[in-house]
């Protein structure tokens, strides 16, 4: 059943809005979780992947005989060996390009050229991972080195070497995003300011790496695939297309997932290659990613270069923004390119921008391909916008918060339509929220007005402290749909089936609370089955802060339908009006009376029995399936204020205070929302100060272990003060907005605004992320070299 978005949010009491303990926690905390590597299967063989050590080279030969001769090795596969099972050597394009064969997608295994360090070349299959790894080390690859391109800025210059031989240019795509009379706005501006911004690339780094287990079933030629993925239905469709399998012969299951954060949004060559090898051998195969492989082959994000100009009137109100965004896509495009478009369309954020023009250039380099990492282009957009507004305030000698306030969309203009469109073609309409009020509350909680006195006192002691501010909006609940089925069995068990994917964010608890609201049962008595294509053949999975809005709305409507059906049958059985019936503790009861019937009994009747009927207007089964549809987004908003102290001698930044306001609409479980917000902020702290995926000029990765790639730890994460407000979204029946990415999006902008404020005595401008100690040292050194300041 398909349901439109024209639903008024209901006023809820009971399970929705309660901070109930998560139903998924007990098995996870007691060691009963079932992650990919926990799945045991008789006769399974293990796979190791041979990867390129060159950023760009011709593959002259792959010598596998020594590896194949190692005791315990069953097979070694190159792309030529897998071709009997593949329709193409190249990956399909994926969910957003269904049915299309990409010309920029990765190869299942490298064919005659490698385009980044880490690109898979061969598979070794052995009776243990240890054996497979030892044998993989014996494979000799003969390369003919080609010139590599490591920087998108040089990649687009005339005469630059191409990242792949099949390319005639490194420019993958160009776009023009904007509206209004931009040149006229700049002509009449009282002030125009410009800056160049760099946002370096980073990784997702979930606790659990990627992995896939493939079981071929000889009886019917089918495959059962377990994958640590955010996108089981997309993997199902790509496997079917790549292997030429009928949908009915393929099942994809997502077990417990130890974090996704975007990199598991993509479908990878390893998943296709291992499936093809399993079909060839007729035995189960398992591959699990180690941490080094994660650095070398899991998608990364960022490497964006912004050249921006901002025009304001005499009162610092925005008139226009223009510029260019150069986006480094890496060697391939695993999915249709969406991140730079997200960044370009999100840059104007919660502000009134009368005119806007952004030229977007997407370039290939010889680095790991790029796709989503928590925020999918929005953190970059917020960093760019907030840095330019801070620049306006600094140059005009105005309070930064006042400049932001003057430009925020006022609440009386909500819903507010931007002159831009999302990827689906739908207009960008901010559905609800009070951005001015959000900033005011955050500033008051952080004592913004009292900070100048604290800063002056610290400076007198030789200490450099600063305060920063950032606002953000995030489109959530991306459609067009998500599946939600609610079923009651004859035993009384309530089960939810959905194509949404649990990745540690509390999905099962939230969906159970939503269904419990309508069915009158305790959420911990509801079973949730997520991410199994056998039970949810239609589904889109986890990305874009969408699952609570989309799957939650479907489950809500399905539970309402089941409730109505149960009351209708109970009314018939008890000969009483439906309006007099309530669902309480798994039973349909007469209000104020003793008569009742259990949901299990009703389900038993509706499954049918020969010769026994039930009302003609009721379909068999006490269940309902919904696919709530919407192309519109529900916009969450956030405001963060951060205080830092900078040790200018050691180039160390310490966060002293963090105040975060979030409006994610109606909160189904405030405790889970709180955890998501804090986790997102910690991710943003990493983006701002620590996480840097570095490459040298030969496009060789320099950060391939957690000793090199720094992550924020408990020692550097402050106590985060949280403020919440619920502005229900009018575009979905729950009034909810997504929350998983909202904490990350303004974090880097707020933190680095504070760092710049701390360094204001030196007139230092912060125009890049991350601000690691070595980068900060260079910024301070180069600035002081041009001035009379000394430390």
For residue range 400-433, list pLDDT tens digits in order.
Answer: 999 999 999 999 999 999 999 887 788 899 999 9
Q: Measuring CA to CA, which residue among 695, 685, 693 is closest to residue 749?
A: 685
Per-residue pLDDT at 269 exceeds 50: yes
Residues 757-784, mean pLDDT to the nearest whole number: 92
SS3 category, 589 = strand
Looking at every residue in the chain, the average pLDDT score rounds to 93
Residues 6+ apart with CB under 8 A from 80: none
User: Residue 770: is the preceding peptide bond cis (ω within 30°)?
Assistant: yes
d(CA 540, CA 528): 17
Per-residue pLDDT at 7 exceeds 60: no
Per-residue pLDDT at 3 exceeds 60: no
Q: Which residue has the higher pLDDT, 2 or 546?
A: 546
Residues 638-647, mean pLDDT to the nearest whole number: 98
Residues 471-498, mean pLDDT to the nearest whole number: 96
SS3 category, 451 = helix
**Dihedral of the CA atoms 580, 584, 588, 590 (nearest 10)?**
-40
Q: Which helix (H) or strand (E) is 386 found in, with range?
A: helix 378-396
Work out the pLDDT band at 791, boundaries 50, 70, 90: low
DSSP for 135-199, please give it. Answer: HHTT-EEEEEE------HHHHTSTTPPPSSTT-S-SEEEEEEEEES-HHHHHHT-SEEEEEEEEE
Residues 77-88, mean pLDDT to the nearest whole number: 97
Residues 6+ apart with CB under 8 A from 99: 241
- Cβ pair 377, 307 in contact under 8 A: no
Determine which of 478-482, 584-588, 785-789 has the lowest per-residue pLDDT on average: 785-789
- Cβ pair 639, 468 in contact under 8 A: no
CA neighbours within 13 Å on the CB side: how many for 15?
Answer: 24
Question: How many degrees, rounded to 5, is the angle at CA 503 between CA 502 and CA 506?
Answer: 65
- Cβ pair 574, 595 in contact under 8 A: yes
What CA–CA distances, in Å, run from 386 to 308, 523, 542, 742, 748?
A: 12, 42, 28, 16, 10
163-213 residue pLDDT tens: 999 999 999 999 999 999 999 999 999 999 999 999 999 999 999 999 999
d(CA 355, CA 11): 39
359-394 residue pLDDT tens: 999 999 999 999 989 989 999 999 999 999 999 999
Quote the pLDDT of residue 499: 96
Q: Which two tokens stand for residue 220?
A: 């019917």
d(CA 2, CA 588): 27
Largest CA distance in the chain: 97
SS3 category, 557 = helix
d(CA 774, CA 757): 19
Work out the pLDDT band at 14, boundaries 50, 70, 90: low
- Cβ pair 287, 46 in contact under 8 A: yes
SS3 category, 79 = helix
Task: Cite the beta strand spans of 513-613 per DSSP E.
Answer: 526-530, 581-584, 587-590, 596-598
Helices (H), 593-648: 599-606
Residues 215-241, mean pLDDT to the nearest whole number: 95
Quote the pLDDT of residue 421: 86
d(CA 42, CA 286): 12
DSSP state of 487: E
Q: Measuring CA to CA, which residue among 345, 323, 303 is closest to residue 155?
A: 303
- Cβ pair 500, 551 in contact under 8 A: yes
d(CA 500, CA 474): 20
Q: Measuring CA to CA, which residue among 490, 442, 488, 487 is closest to residue 467?
A: 442
d(CA 665, CA 663): 6
d(CA 461, CA 457): 7
The 10 Å Cβ neighbour count of residue 291 is: 13
CA neighbours within 13 Å on the CB side: how many for 159?
Answer: 0
End-to-end CA distance of the chain: 68
Question: How many degrees, rounded to 5, is the angle at CA 201 between CA 691 and CA 203?
Answer: 60
Quote the pLDDT of residue 12: 37
d(CA 163, CA 166): 9
Per-residue pLDDT at 457 exceeds 70: yes
Tokens 């089955």 belong to 529
Beta bridge partners of 320: 311
Q: Is 454 left (phi over 0), alpha (psi -120 to 50) or beta?
A: alpha
608-620 residue pLDDT tens: 877 777 788 889 9
Q: Is 453 exposed, middle or buried (0-12, 13-18, 19+ CB in 10 A)?
A: exposed
Q: Which helix (H) or strand (E) is 514 found in, with range?
A: helix 507-519
Per-residue pLDDT at 634 exceeds 90: yes
Residues 6+ apart with CB under 8 A from 434: 411, 414, 663, 725, 727
Quote the pLDDT of residue 523: 94
Q: Which two tokens stand for residue 89?
A: 């050597």
Tokens 């204001």 belong to 760
Quote the pLDDT of residue 95: 57
Per-residue pLDDT at 500 exceeds 70: yes
- Cβ pair 499, 482 in contact under 8 A: yes
118-173 residue pLDDT tens: 999 999 999 999 999 999 999 999 999 999 999 999 999 999 999 999 999 999 99
Q: Is 540 left (phi over 0), alpha (psi -120 to 50) or beta?
A: alpha
All domains of the chain in start order, with CATH = 2-33+479-629 (3.30.365.10), 412-474+633-791 (3.30.365.10)
DSSP for 669-698, please give it. Answer: SHHHHHHHHHHHHHHHHHHHHT----B-TT
19-30 residue pLDDT tens: 999 999 999 999
Q: Is 17 left (phi over 0), alpha (psi -120 to 50) or beta?
A: left
d(CA 16, CA 11): 10
Quote the pLDDT of residue 335: 86
């Amino acid at each position: 059943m398909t349901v439109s978005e024209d639903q008024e949010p209901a006023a809820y009491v009971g399970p929705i809005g309660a901070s109930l303990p998560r139903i998924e926690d007990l098995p996870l905390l007691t060691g009963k979780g079932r992650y990919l590597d926990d799945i045991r299967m008789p006769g399974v063989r293990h796979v190791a992947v041979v990867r390129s050590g060159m950023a760009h080279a011709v593959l002259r030969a792959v010598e596998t005989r020594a590896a194949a001769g190692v005791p315990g090795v069953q097979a070694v596969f190159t792309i030529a060996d897998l071709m009997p099972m593949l329709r193409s050597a190249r990956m399909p394009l994926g969910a957003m390009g269904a049915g299309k064969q990409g010309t920029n997608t990765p190869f299942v295994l490298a064919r005659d050229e490698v385009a980044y360090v880490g690109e898979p070349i061969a598979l070794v299959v052995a009776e243990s991972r240890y054996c497979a790894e030892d044998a993989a080390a014996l494979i000799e690859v003969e390369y003919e080195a080609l010139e590599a391109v490591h920087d998108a800025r040089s990649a687009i210059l005339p005469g630059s070497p191409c990242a792949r031989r099949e390319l005639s240019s490194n420019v993958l795509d160009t776009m023009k995003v904007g509206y209004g009379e931009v040149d006229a706005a700049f002509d009449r501006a009282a002030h125009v300011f410009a800056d160049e911004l760099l946002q370096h690339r980073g990784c997702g780094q979930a606790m659990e790496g990627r992995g896939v287990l493939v079981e071929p079933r000889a009886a019917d030629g089918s495959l059962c695939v377990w994958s640590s993925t955010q996108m089981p239905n997309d993997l199902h469709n790509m496997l079917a297309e790549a292997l030429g399998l009928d949908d009915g012969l393929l099942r994809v299951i997502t077990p417990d997932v130890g974090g996704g954060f975007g990199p598991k949004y993509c479908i990878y060559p390893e998943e296709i290659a291992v499936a093809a090898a399993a079909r060839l051998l007729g035995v189960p195969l398992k591959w699990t990613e180690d941490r080094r492989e994660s650095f070398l082959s899991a998608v990364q994000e960022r490497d964006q270069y912004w050249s921006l100009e901002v025009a304001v009137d005499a009162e610092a109100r925005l008139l226009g923004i223009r510029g260019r965004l150069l986006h480094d896509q890496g060697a391939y495009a695993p999915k249709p390119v969406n991140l730079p478009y997200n960044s370009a369309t999100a840059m104007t954020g919660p502000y009134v921008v009368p005119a806007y023009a952004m030229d977007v250039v997407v370039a290939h380099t010889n680095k790991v391909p790029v796709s989503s990492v928590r925020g999918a282009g929005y953190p970059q957009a917020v960093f760019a916008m907030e840095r330019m507004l801070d620049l306006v305030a600094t140059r005009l000698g105005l309070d930064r918060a006042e400049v932001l306030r003057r430009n925020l969309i006022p609440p009386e203009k909500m819903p507010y339509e931007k002159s831009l469109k999302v990827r689906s073609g739908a207009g960008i309409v901010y559905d609800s929220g009070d951005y001015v009020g959000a900033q005011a509350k955050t500033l008051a909680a952080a004592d913004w007005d009292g900070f100048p006195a604290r800063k002056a006192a610290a400076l007198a002691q030789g200490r450099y402290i600063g305060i920063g501010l950032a606002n953000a909006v995030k489109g959530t609940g991306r459609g067009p749909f998500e599946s939600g089925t609610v079923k009651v069995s004859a035993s009384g068990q309530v089960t939810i089936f959905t194509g949404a994917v649990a990745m540690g964010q509390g999905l099962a608890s939230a969906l159970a609370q939503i269904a419990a609201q309508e069915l009158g049962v305790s959420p911990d008595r509801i079973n949730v089955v997520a991410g199994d294509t056998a039970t949810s053949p239609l589904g889109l999975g986890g990305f874009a802060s969408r699952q609570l809005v989309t799957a939650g709305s479907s489950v809500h409507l399905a539970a309402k339908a089941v409730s109505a059906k149960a009351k209708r049958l109970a009314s018939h059985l008890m000969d009483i009006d439906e309006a007099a019936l309530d669902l309480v503790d798994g039973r349909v009861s007469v209000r104020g009376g003793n008569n009742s019937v259990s949901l299990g009994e009703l389900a038993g009747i509706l499954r049918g029995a020969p010769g026994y009927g039930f009302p003609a207007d009721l379909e068999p089964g006490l269940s309902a399936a919904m696919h709530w549809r919407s192309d519109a987004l529900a916009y969450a908003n956030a405001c963060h204020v951060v205080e830092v102290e900078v040790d200018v001698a050691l180039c160390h930044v310490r966060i002293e205070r963090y105040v975060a306001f979030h409006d994610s609409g109606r909160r189904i479980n405030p405790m889970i929302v709180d955890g998501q917000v804090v986790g997102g902020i910690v991710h943003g702290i990493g983006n701002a100060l620590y996480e840097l995926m570095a490459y040298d000029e030969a496009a060789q990765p320099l950060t391939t272990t957690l000793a090199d790639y720094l992550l924020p730890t408990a020692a550097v994460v402050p106590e985060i003060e949280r403020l919440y407000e619920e502005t229900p979204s009018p575009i979905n029946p729950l009034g909810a907005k997504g929350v998983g990415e909202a904490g990350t999006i303004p974090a880097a902008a707020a933190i680095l605004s504070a760092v710049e404020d701390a360094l204001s005595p030196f007139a230092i401008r912060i125009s890049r992320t991350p601000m690691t100690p070595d980068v900060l040292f260079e910024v301070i050194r180069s600035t002081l070299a041009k001035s009379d300041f000394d430390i």
